[in-house]
Amino acid sequence: MSVASSDFKKVTTNSVQEMKRKGEKISMLTAYDYTLARIIDQAGIDVILVGDSASNVMAGHETTLPITLNEMIYHASSVVRAVTRALVVVDLPFGSYQGNSKEALVSAIRIMKESGGHAVKLEGGIEILESIQRILTAGIPVMGHLGLTPQSIYKFGTYTVRAKEEEEAEKLIADALALEVAGCFALVLEKIPAHLAKRVAESLSIPVIGIGAGADVDGQVLVLHDMLGMTHEFNPRFLRRYLDMYTEITGAVRQYAQDVKDGDFPNAQEQY
Ligand code: KIV
């Protein structure tokens, strides 16, 4: 069964904006490889994010900082080969766009050319506006990302809720408006108070997609491996686990290992 809106055979940046206008919530998940991207695309997810969370989930790094542009292109091209309907958004990794808008454009062009992704996502507000503007001049759609921005973890020091204080909340609102005016087609808000996310979503005409930002936004995103219960250690309040794959996979692998040890696998029907 697919939950995809019948209106959109292929999801584009325009379709997600139309979803906001129509009041239809946008569903978004991460994927980093062909096999899972194929499953979630066929299940009807609207937007697939090739997140730099691949650095944690796929490579086992503690932060998102080490992943490279080449590695992001590898993950994104695997996802793009799997997808027939979803909009594929690819994170620009740490160090590929901050502080130098010309380098930002080169990085974004490499993502689009070498992976076939449909849009890029950058973390930050006014301080990276020049990079966003330059990328947009090349006709590359940009998704913004504010609130908890994991590439700045060493500036924040922790992964706790952002913008709880008035000053940071006002800066976030100003950043969100600046991203919309610059031409971003959508915005991710990560781990901020629900009332603030609601205010931002109501103030912007572009879709606001939340992760740990409450229900009053235009869509939701989760890390696929977290919502499938493949990761165990990460338990934020906003995470709903739809499966317990860690336990399921452990059980299957134990059974297989036991069957091999016992000489039970393969049986007579499982050989030539
Ligand atoms: O990299 C990622 O997975 C993300 C989401 C958490 C929004 O940026």
The answer to the question of residue 105 being in a domain is yes
Q: What is the CATH number of the domain that holds 174?
A: 3.20.20.60
Rounded to whole angstroms, the Cα distance separating 60 from 143 reads 25
Compute the average pLDDT of residues 224-248: 96
* pLDDT confidence of residue 18: 97
- pLDDT tens track for 152-170: 999 999 999 999 999 999 9
pLDDT of 2 strictly over 60: no
pLDDT of 233 strictly over 90: no
* pLDDT confidence of residue 99: 86
210 plus 226 within the same structural domain:
yes
pLDDT of 6 strictly over 90: no
192 plus 264 within the same structural domain:
no
Nearest 5 degrees, angle CA 261-CA 267-CA 269?
Answer: 160
180 plus 219 within the same structural domain:
yes
Residue nearest to atom 8 of ligand 1 (CA): 51
Establish how many alpha carbons lie within 13 A of residue 9's alpha carbon, considering only the half-sphere containing its beta carbon: 0
Rounded to whole angstroms, the Cα distance separating 192 from 266 reads 52
177 plus 252 within the same structural domain:
no
Of the chain, the percentage scoring pLDDT greater than 70 comes to 97
Mean pLDDT of the chain: 96
Nearest of 150, 200, 208, 191 to residue 170 by alpha carbon: 200
The answer to the question of residue 7 being in a domain is no
* pLDDT confidence of residue 137: 98
Domain that holds residue 260: 244-272
196 plus 267 within the same structural domain:
no
Which atom of ligand 1 approaches the CA of 64 most closely?
A: 1
User: 218, 19 in Cβ contact below 8 A?
Assistant: yes
Instruction: Judge if pTM exceeds 0.85.
Output: yes
Compute the average pLDDT of residues 187-195: 98
Helix (H) or strand (E) holding 166: helix 166-182
Whole-number Å distance, alpha carbon 115 to ligand 1 midpoint, is 18
The answer to the question of residue 8 being in a domain is no
State the catalytic residue, choosing from 18, 127, 190, 233: 190
* pLDDT confidence of residue 37: 98
Number of domains comprising the chain: 2
pLDDT of 3 strictly over 90: no
User: 30, 223 in Cβ contact below 8 A?
Assistant: yes
**Is 190 in the active site?**
yes
Whole-number Å distance, alpha carbon 263 to ligand 1 midpoint, is 44
Nearest 5 degrees, angle CA 15-CA 190-CA 104?
Answer: 70
Rounded to whole angstroms, the Cα distance separating 56 from 136 reads 29
Residue nearest to atom 2 of ligand 1 (CA): 51
Nearest of 173, 169, 209 to residue 193 by alpha carbon: 169
187 plus 259 within the same structural domain:
no
- In order of 40, 79, 158, 190, the CA distances from 153 in angstroms are 29, 27, 6, 13
* pLDDT confidence of residue 1: 47
* pLDDT confidence of residue 5: 58
- pLDDT tens track for 12-63: 999 999 999 999 999 999 999 999 999 999 999 999 999 999 999 999 999 9
User: 11, 46 in Cβ contact below 8 A?
Assistant: yes
pLDDT of 7 strictly over 80: no
- pLDDT tens track for 56-100: 999 999 999 999 999 999 999 999 999 999 999 999 999 999 989
229 plus 249 within the same structural domain:
no
Q: Which long-range contacts (CB under 8 A, 24 or more apart) does 99-105 make?
A: 100/131, 101/130, 101/131, 101/133, 101/134, 102/134, 104/128, 104/131, 104/132, 104/134, 104/135, 105/131, 105/134, 105/135, 105/137, 105/138
